[in-house]
Amino acid sequence: LLLLLLCLLTMSRKSCLDLVQDIIDSVLATPQAQKATASQLVDKLKEYEQRKKTDRKGEEIVANLVARTIKIVWKSYNKLQLEHSTEDKPLEEVSSDDPSGKFLLEMTHYHKDLRKNVLDLVADVKEEVGDVEHLIAEQAKNHIHANEIITTIGFSSTLLNFFKKAHEDCKFHVIVAESEPSHQAHKMAKLLGKAGIDTTLIPYSNIYAMMSRVNKVIIGAETITANGGLLAYEGTHGLCLAAEQLAVPVIVCSGLYKLSPEIPCSYELDTFTHMGPASGIVKYSEGEMVRSANCIFPIYDYVPPNLIQIFITSNETFSPSTIFRAVDDHYFNH
């Protein structure tokens, strides 16, 4: 049950590629989309998002990619409007006058090139998702240096490729922290060892004791929020708190397809981080314990932006205070 829940809530890069292709096949490449206006395409994308939320609860990346596609539709429509009309007010001006986003409903002019332009830009997004791990790994030599000790937690294919690429230029040591109950760090440590990287696997309780020897913490992310925070593997918040206490920089490696326009509020963090079944911690066979204890099992940790120094993405690096620029480029600011 635990493994099934983790599979449902964790979206791999391949799954994201499949999702982008599904958006193309289900919405943009249909016969109905050939003569659709921009407003109609937006409506179809929102309907698609609602269907996916029903089928796969908890996948923020579905909403992220749909919202990014809506921004692509808006940009394409705006460009075509400016090319075909000098009298109409540009949508960029309308958007500043109407911050509620109601101008989306006004995209009613039909442009025969709209769907083609949108498909071309969505294909670029698909290519970006496909190349994200390679592009991030290419930056490894700028962030990892000889004889450094680096700490990470859990498993991430992006980090695995990042460390492998850095190992081509220098030798360093990776400490992988384990967090119960998923045991993903065992897989990470094993694959790093096979790649010839000096690796130590430690229990979560030893993180603070080891942190004084560490040069930097490098982690992955499931979702990057608009305020510069993130959702990550359970136990990541404690790791980042230990790093802050001992002034160890925290670096995050993640593709921009995980960027979300949402900002979590303190009163909704329990919902935002997804709670797993208590059986992941206490087995139902332990009847007396189950009846006497209230078990809380977060699937992800929320890490606030003040604990993070740098985001490494496929295109560039961001500090938490400038991540809003990427949000503005990819999503509407309703």
pLDDT, one tens digit per residue, over 217-228 is: 999 998 898 889
- 140 vs 118, higher pLDDT: 140
All residues at 6 or more sequence positions from 47 whose CB lies less than 8 Å from its CB, including other chains: none
> Is 0.85 topped by the overall pTM?
no
- 89 vs 123, higher pLDDT: 123
Query: Predicted confidence band at 115 (pLDDT cuts at 50, 70, 90)?
Result: confident
Closest CA to 63 of 78, 76, 51: 51
- Residue 12: Cβ-neighbour burial (10 angstroms; 0-12, 13-18, 19+): exposed
Q: Tens of pLDDT along 76-111?
A: 887 877 776 654 555 544 444 444 344 444 666 777
pLDDT at 218: 97
- 272 vs 99, higher pLDDT: 272
- Buried/exposed code over 285-300 (b: 16+ C-beta within 10 A; e: otherwise): eeeeeeeeeeeebbbb
Of all residues in the chain, what percent carry a pLDDT higher than 90?
A: 33
Query: Predicted confidence band at 267 (pLDDT cuts at 50, 70, 90)?
Result: low
Closest CA to 284 of 295, 273, 274: 295
Collapsing DSSP to helix, strand or coil, 98 comes out as coil
- Residue 89: Cβ-neighbour burial (10 angstroms; 0-12, 13-18, 19+): exposed
pLDDT at 4: 31
Distance CA 324, CA 124 (A): 21
Q: What are phi and psi of 299, to 5 degrees?
A: -75, -40
- Residue 86: Cβ-neighbour burial (10 angstroms; 0-12, 13-18, 19+): exposed
